[in-house]
Amino acid sequence: MTQAKKLHFIIIDDSKLDCFIADKIIRNTGKCESVTTFLQATEAIEYIAKTPPHDEHTRTIVLVDIQMPVMNGFEFVEAFEKLPPSVIKHYTLYVISSSINENDIYKLQNYASVKQFLNKPLTSNTLAAILG
């Protein structure tokens, strides 16, 4: 990373508290330009599909929970992968969950767009590690 460029974040989690925690930790890094939170994955997918990239070079980091009602994390990733490549390339996906189910974690490896699985709760150390 050549640095200096600030990052945008999207948090998708049905738990308000978890969104709040992620928001706080991300803002505390001082490396973020914006944080947008969604309690419903359907709204996030709509937002990503409709919002034009901030500029050609920005990347947005997406943190998505697995177990959510209506649209869960897996369904979100599948819907995300169906978006045009020109949209997808501006995003990096991380899945974050309280799940300790091996099947869930194994299943995630099948999704090309998922960069990494993160355990809840999100901590400043974990975040620092993924931001390099």
Binding site for other proteins (CB under 8 A): 14-18, 20-21, 24-25, 28, 39-40, 66-70, 97-101, 120-123
Judged by CB, which is closer to other proteins: 1, or 17? Answer: 17
Structure tokens at 111: 């999704």
End-to-end CA distance of the chain, in Å?
8
Least distance from other proteins to the Cβ atom of residue 72, Å: 10
* Class of residue 85 by CB neighbours under 10 A (exposed 0-12, middle 13-18, buried 19+): exposed
Measured from the CB atom, is 40 or 58 closer to other proteins?
40
Q: How far is the CB of 9 from other proteins (least distance, A)?
A: 16
